[in-house]
Amino acid sequence: MVAMSGGVDSSVVAGILVRRGYDVMGVTMQIWQESQTDPRHAGCCSLGAVEDARGVARRLDIPYYVINFKKEFKDQVITRFMDEYERGRTPNPCIECNRHVKFDALMQKAREVGCDMLATGHYARVRKDSRTGLYRLLRARAKDKDQSYALYSLSQEQLSKAMFPLGELFGKSETREIARDLGLALADKPDSQEICFVSEAGGYGEFIKKNRPTAFSDGDIVTEEGKSIGKHGGIGLYTVGQRRRIGLNVEGKPLFVLRLDPSGNKVVVGNNEALMKRSVVFDDQLGHLSKPTKVVGRIRYNMQPAQAVLYPGEPFTAEFIEPVRAVTPGQAAVFYRGETVVAGGPIRSPSAPKPARQLQAAPAVRRSERRKS
């Protein structure tokens, strides 16, 4: 089964697998909601995407189906998305969709109809460790397209049944070239950039305001010392590191969101330097590590991996060698040894650094990694 979003990536996956001789079935998840103003253009898996995916299936001569996952998507992705913003956290809906819909509900459907594997258009790789027998999630060869960050939470069962053919390619240009070679009309179709279930003109803020008005009561914008310096229109409009909608300065320097206080309905602001942190507390969901480990990691999808030391515990703590900006509760922290994902989970908060004696090896990580590079 190939999950076809109507974009060039998943379309090329279907074409690659047909060429390799697999018995391929194309499926699009119907996830758009009645509340959307125009579901024809609501990103991947929209009505417009169905038309494109159906055309690709016709070109490849494979069976194609649309399966209704509206309830699963609403319960597991949209409701969680709004819950997190109301709690003063910033979610990543793509991670929740991968975890609960694509590789849970859709994978179950694949088994029910007799498919051995579920293939998607993600740029990532899966390898089975011959020594341990465990399946490992690896970064894509095309580092600028790597999507392992959004797949970190997949279980061993899910990884054993997942296929990511694009993870072996060297970039989007190669994907588009394959699409042209396959004769696919959407070879040059632009990538979808927006949250797929948000079609409101005002973006995610208007979406939450419409569907979860309790996240939008007026409150105070305060300094770290607790001094009120302005008003906000609801914490659902803000995230850590944000400058937009603040519009305030202190001594000529702009202010940014440092943290959100949902219990007091406050947005706490400060200067950019206050956003720089070395320590990150997160809930590891993989359970692979039992001792301090040198890694590289990301605390958001578009961040370049940075060197760190992981300290297992409940919860985990990551100590970055250089400060990272805007540690955001609700986002995922994902860490790698080499190409392999070894830890990951939702961020709780920044924290005080570990005692210096526990970080004596940290500078050596930086020097040794530079020698290796």
**What is the CATH classification number for the domain harbouring 260?**
2.30.30.280
The verdict on residue 339 lying in a domain is: yes
Q: Catalytic residue at 45?
A: no
Q: 279 and 290 in contact (C-beta within 8 Å)? A: no
Q: Which of 44, 45, 115, 196 is catalytic?
A: 196
What is residue 372's three-state secondary structure? helix
pTM of the model: 0.89
Q: Are both 145 and 31 inside the same structural domain?
A: yes
What is the C-alpha separation between 351 and 353, in angstroms, rounded? 6
For each of the chain's 373 residues, which pLDDT tens digit applies?
999 999 999 999 999 999 999 999 999 999 875 544 454 545 555 677 899 999 999 999 999 999 999 999 999 999 999 999 999 999 999 999 999 999 999 999 999 999 999 999 999 999 999 999 999 999 999 999 999 999 999 999 999 999 999 999 999 999 999 999 999 999 999 887 667 788 666 688 888 888 888 888 999 999 999 999 999 999 988 999 999 888 888 778 899 999 999 999 999 999 999 999 999 999 999 999 999 999 999 999 989 999 999 999 989 999 999 999 999 999 999 999 999 999 999 999 998 666 543 443 433 333 333 334 3
Residues 253 and 169 in one domain: no
pLDDT of 370 reads 37
Catalytic (active site) residue 94 = no
79 and 228 co-located in one domain:
no
Query: Residue 75 falls within a domain, yes or no?
Result: yes
Among 92, 166, 121, smallest CA distance to 5 is for 121
In a domain, 209, yes or no: no
Domain assignment present for residue 67? The answer is yes
The answer to whether residues 92 and 160 belong to one domain is: yes
- The separation between the first and the last C-alpha atoms of the chain, rounded to the nearest angstrom, is 40
Burial of 33 (0-12, 13-18, 19+ CB in 10 A): middle
Q: What is the CA 345 to chain-centroid distance, rounded?
A: 11
Give the domain-ending residue among 270, 305, 334. 270
Find out whether 79 and 2 touch, Cβ atoms under 8 Å.
Answer: no
Residue 190 lies in a domain: no
**Is 69 found in the same domain as 166?**
yes
144: domain CATH number is 3.40.50.620
- Residue 341 has a pLDDT of 98
**For residue 366, is it within any domain?**
yes
| Cα–Cα distance for residue pair 188/172, rounded to 1 Å | 10
Segments forming the whole domain that contains residue 223? 217-270
Write b or e for each residue in 171-186: b if 16 or more Cβ atoms lie within 10 A of its Cβ, otherwise e. Answer: bbebbbebbeebebeb
pLDDT at site 92: 94
Count of residues in the chain: 373
Distances (CA, A) of 281 to 23, 181, 221, 248, 310: 45, 47, 25, 29, 10
Give 162-192 as a DSSP string.
EE-GGGGSS-HHHHHHHHHHTT-TTTTPPPP
The last residue of a domain, from among 270, 289, 311: 270
Which residues face 293 on adjacent strands?
310
What per-residue confidence (pLDDT) applies to 87? 92
Residues 61 and 29 in one domain: yes
- Statement to judge: residues 264 and 279 lie in one domain: no
Cα 338 off chain centre by: 20
* Statement to judge: residues 259 and 279 lie in one domain: no
Residues with Cβ < 8 Å from 373, sequence gap 6 or more? none
Domain assignment present for residue 257? The answer is: yes
- In this structure, the answer to whether residues 249 and 326 fall within a common structural domain is no
State how many domains the chain has.
Answer: 3
Tell me, yes or no, whether 292 and 256 share the same domain. no
* Residue 250 sits in the same domain as residue 286: no
From 44, 45, 94, 97, the catalytic residue: 97
348 membership: H or E segment, kind and range: strand 340-350
The domain boundary, picked from 270, 293, 311, lies at 270
List the structure tokens of 208.
């939450």
Q: Identify whether residues 53 and 101 lie together within a single domain.
A: yes
On whether residue 203 sits in a domain, the answer given is no
Which CATH number goes with the domain that contains 327? 2.40.30.10
pLDDT for 10 equals 97
